[in-house]
Amino acid sequence: MTTEALAVNPSVLREEVKKKYRDVACNPHGEHHFHTGRPLTRRLGYDQAVVGAMPDVAVESFAGVANPFVLRALARGEMVVDAGSGAGFDSFIAAHQVGVEGRVIGVDMLAEMLEKSRDSAKRMGLGNVEFRQGILEEMPVEDGWADVVISNGVINLCADKKRVFGELWRALRPGGWLQFGDIASGKPVPESAKANIDLWTA
């Protein structure tokens, strides 16, 4: 798929997304159009015994749209990529499920989110999680490394979804699982709305 065939320019959209989620990282309790933090984890059915043990800083910037673990819990020892890991919340849930025998690589493009996720991992003493800077269209993960790729509310923010799904495929080993949360609309979105960059992040 070429850039010309896409509804919006991927680079322009990426900069708008960065602006929005930089604010979520630095100002998690500010006025956002979506829920964040612990109330959102309850709304999406996360195990509150696990969430409750996490420090506020590891949860407050969570802005997912569903629960990637609800249809299949991760198995101990699995290797996991969290595509668009944000402040690391789903990566920490994954680290809990795979245990010390497993490993989690979170990939995010925002320096502010990476700093926050690395600080939280250190604070929780998680040695099986690392965070790398990158975009979903070009993840810094070797071919076939992952048993599971998770993601939450990020694919919908990418203009070139065909390229993103190709990249998620590349990172997975044969037989591996893709489990992700995302939004879908029940009504057709007009072309004029699709081309409006403000509506992608509003």
Among 65, 109, 135, 197, binds another protein (CB under 8 A): 65
Minimum CB separation of residue 166 from another protein in Å reads: 6
- Nearer CB in complex with another protein: 45/127: 45
How far does CA 49 lie from the centroid of its chain? 22
CA distances from 19 to 11, 12, 127 (A): 13, 11, 30
Among 12, 111, 189, 195, binds another protein (CB under 8 A): 189
Among 33, 125, 191, 198, binds another protein (CB under 8 A): 33
- Sole window of 54-62, 68-76, 120-128, 130-138 interacting with another protein (rule: CB under 8 A): 68-76
Question: How many whole angstroms separate alpha carbon 60 and alpha carbon 40?
Answer: 9
* 35 part of the interface to another protein, by CB under 8 A: yes
* Binding string, residues 157-186; x marks residues near another protein by CB under 8 A: ----xx--xx-xx--xxxxxxxxxxxxxxx
Question: Contact, 169 vs 141, CB < 8 A?
Answer: no
- Sole window of 49-57, 58-66, 77-85, 86-94 interacting with another protein (rule: CB under 8 A): 58-66
- Nearer CB in complex with another protein: 125/142: 142
Q: Quick one: CA dihedral 44, 37, 193, 169, positive or negative?
A: negative
End-to-end CA distance of the chain: 25
Among 28, 37, 68, 86, binds another protein (CB under 8 A): 68
CA distances from 99 to 104, 116, 144, 146, 166 (A): 10, 22, 21, 15, 28
Minimum CB separation of residue 182 from another protein in Å reads: 7
Minimum CB separation of residue 125 from another protein in Å reads: 29
Q: Quick one: CA dihedral 162, 20, 116, 35, positive or negative?
A: negative
Which residues neighbour 62 within 8 Å (Cβ) at sequence distance 6 or greater? 36, 37, 40, 41, 86, 87, 89, 90
Positions touching another protein (CB under 8 A) are: 31-35, 43-45, 64-68, 70-72, 153, 161-162, 165-166, 168-169, 172-187, 189, 199, 202
